[in-house]
């Protein structure tokens, strides 16, 4: 049994973080917190209210007036914005394309990080994102930096999309993923980078189960008895 440790999983878009984080949380009986979903939720609300996402002050105020809740569901996690279930809507192409710009605003990040730390308080959590090990939970007992080649990440997205009936080409997905990597790594506020004490896992040639097993083993080693 592993008691109440914090596990931070960071890495680029499409590396499989959310699937792996969700499954690891389930295996260990921990709470899963998808921080990307929180940036997506804010982006979705701004788009539906016609708010200019590039206007930092407006985005900060919007976040102050927004209640974002993450609830366990049969599909892993439901995302509620002001009481409305937006779990599907936040995965749209439109939100995916705009979310990096929203996540680049320093004042938005400050508020989000605050909310994320409150959610992680005092319990076993698996939290995934871009800045969890470096900024949100710097004292996490286990930090993972999960990556995979751009080609492999695009292929995984392509397969996921086909199930959902989305026909975006593989080339387009590769270009989109490369662009998001660039935006997330080059932004000034908490750019995506591997924490010094994070364990690097390259999942290019690994199955999801292999990655989950590896992380669970590391968690067991670091458990607090």
Q: Mark 100-129 with x for binding to ligand DC (rule: CB under 6 A) and - for no binding.
A: x--x-------------------------x
The smaller minimum CB distance to ligand DC, of residues 36 and 76, is found at 36
Q: Using CA atoms in the order 18, 24, 29, 32, what is the torsion angle rounded to 10 degrees? A: -20
The smaller minimum CB distance to ligand DC, of residues 103 and 215, is found at 103
Q: Return the range that interacts with ligand DC (CB under 6 A); candidates 34-42, 144-152, 196-204, 216-224.
A: 34-42
The smaller minimum CB distance to ligand DC, of residues 2 and 77, is found at 77
CA 45 to each of CA 72, 79, 86, 89, 117: distance values in angstroms, whole numbers, following the listed order = 21, 12, 9, 10, 22
The smaller minimum CB distance to ligand DC, of residues 2 and 59, is found at 59
Q: Are 5 and 222 spatial neighbours (Cβ–Cβ below 8 Å)?
A: yes
Task: Return d(Cα 215, Cα 135) in angstroms, integer.
Answer: 20
Give Cβ neighbours of residue 88 (< 8 Å, ≥ 6 apart): none
Given 31, 36, 141, 168, the residue binding ligand DC (CB under 6 A): 36
**Contacting positions for ligand DC (CB under 6 A):** 13, 35-36, 39-40, 99-100, 103, 129-132, 180, 184
């Amino acid at each position: 049994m592993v008691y109440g440790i914090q596990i931070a999983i960071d890495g680029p878009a499409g590396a499989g973080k959310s699937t792996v984080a969700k499954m690891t949380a389930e295996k260990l009986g921990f709470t899963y917190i998808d921080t990307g979903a929180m940036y997506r939720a804010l982006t979705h609300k701004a788009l539906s209210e016609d708010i200019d996402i590039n206007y930092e002050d407006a985005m900060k105020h919007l976040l102050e007036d927004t209640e974002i809740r993450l609830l366990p569901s049969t599909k892993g996690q439901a995302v509620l914005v002001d009481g409305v279930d937006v779990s599907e809507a936040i995965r749209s192409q439109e939100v995916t394309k705009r979310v990096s710009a929203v996540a680049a605003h320093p004042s938005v990040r400050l508020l989000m990080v605050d909310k994320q730390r409150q959610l992680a308080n005092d319990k076993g959590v698996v939290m995934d994102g871009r800045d969890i090990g470096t900024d949100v939970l710097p004292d996490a007992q286990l930090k993972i930096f999960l990556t995979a080649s751009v080609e492999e990440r695009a292929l995984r997205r392509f397969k996921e999309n086909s199930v959902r009936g989305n026909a975006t080409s593989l080339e387009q997905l590769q270009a989109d993923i490369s662009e998001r990597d660039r935006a997330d790594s080059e932004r000034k506020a908490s750019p995506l980078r591997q924490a010094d004490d994070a364990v690097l896992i390259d999942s290019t040639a690994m199955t999801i189960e292999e990655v989950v097993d590896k992380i669970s083993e590391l968690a067991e080693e670091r458990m607090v008895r």
